[in-house]
Amino acid sequence: MEETKGDSAAESKTIVAKTAKGHNFSAPQNTERRSSMLHTRRECIKDMLNSAGFVNVQELVSRFQVSSETIRRDLEYLEKEGLVKRIHGGAVSVRPHASESAYQTRQQEHTSEKQAIARAAAELVNDGDTVLIAPGTTALEVAGCLKSRKGLTVITNSLPVTVELASCPNINLFCLGGHVRGDDYSTAGITAVENLAIFNVAKLIIGIGGITPDRGLTDYRMDESALLRTFIEKADCVIGIADHSKFGVVSIYNICPADKLDHLITDSGTPVELCKPYRDMGVQVHIVGPYA
């Protein structure tokens, strides 16, 4: 027999009545399921941010099969929690007062990225330049790329950089004095500042502990950050070098605003969206590596 509209209406009333009497528990169950999915999705987003430092809205939409508005609400929530900062197209991780791993450990991290960054930084140095090289494992890679240059004057407070270049007869090498720090094998303090005063510096190669558009360049040590500010003031051209792991990181001591950089060199693991704010400031951003 063909079903009539009256039969459908009666059946609907019966279902509503059963629901009203408490026979249907799907609504609370659905609410719990949605809450669990929401928590799981946001935890996953946090894990992605901690790993990569950046998330893209469209990639999250595709991964979780939800709307872009849902993802934006997730990012708004995480921003209110102080875990991320939203930017155009996504969000970056906010890791305040990050700590730095040991020098030997850092030497083994992101080695191919550091080598690509170093080659690009070396291309900005001309024969005959006076170059100031700040401490750091990426800066040490830059020093290795400069060994064949002619007529360079290199000034550094990095002991590994000094050792790397000491046997190069074509490089006029100066190591700044001062208190020697065993954690990163560099010198610091008033003696280093006084030694630097006699030089005119064409280019500074500076590694970055952390960088964000709002906080600029930051570092892990008070004396180091003070010395780096002096380095930046002395240099005609400031070349910042930072692999993708340094973006979105805020360490405890401020060095300078990001727009003090003339060049910022990073690897292809840094999303283009993260580079846009620095380009908007007038910084020349170079993304290097096999996939750049």
pLDDT at 82: 82
Q: Give the gyration radius of the chain's Cα atoms.
A: 27
Segment 116-134 shows an average pLDDT of 98
133 and 44: one domain?
Answer: no
149 and 228: one domain?
Answer: yes
Closest CA to 153 of 189, 224, 204: 204
Q: What is the end-to-end Cα distance of the chain in Å, rounded?
A: 68
Give the helix/strand (H/E) hosting 65. Answer: none
Q: Are 162 and 173 in contact (CB under 8 A)?
A: yes
196 vs 125: CA distance, rounded Å: 20
208 and 242: one domain?
Answer: yes
Residue 191 pLDDT greater than 70, yes or no: yes
60 and 111: one domain?
Answer: no
Closest CA to 48 of 67, 64, 65, 35: 64
253-256, strands of its sheet edge to edge: 210-212, 216-219, 253-256
* pLDDT single digits (tens) 43-69: 889 878 776 667 889 889 988 999 999
Q: Tokens 């009539």 sit at which residue?
A: 4
CATH number at residue 244: 3.40.50.1360
Q: Are 97 and 171 in contact (CB under 8 A)?
A: no
Q: Is residue 98 one of the residues assigned to a domain?
A: no
Q: Is residue 134 one of the residues assigned to a domain?
A: yes
CATH number at residue 78: 1.10.10.10
Segment 164-188 shows an average pLDDT of 93
Residue 24 pLDDT greater than 70, yes or no: no
pLDDT band (50, 70, 90) for residue 2:
very low
What's the chain's average pLDDT? Answer: 85
Range of the domain at 139: 103-288
The larger pLDDT score, comparing residue 108 to residue 1, is at 108
Closest CA to 223 of 157, 168, 129: 157
Q: How many helices (H) and strands (E) does the chain have?
A: 11, 17
Instruction: List 206's β-bridge partners, or say none.
Output: 240
pLDDT at 9: 46
262 vs 91: CA distance, rounded Å: 25
pLDDT band (50, 70, 90) for residue 290:
low
DSSP 181-226: ETTTTEEESHHHHHHHTT--EEEEEEE-SEEETTTEEEES-HHHHH
Closest CA to 254 of 82, 94, 97, 139: 97
Total domains present in the chain: 2
Asked which of 56, 74, 93 is the last residue of a domain, the reply is 93
Which amino acid makes up residue 203?
K
Residue 118 CA from chain centroid, whole number: 17
Q: Is residue 30 one of the residues assigned to a domain?
A: yes
**Tokens at residue 274, please?**
């993260």
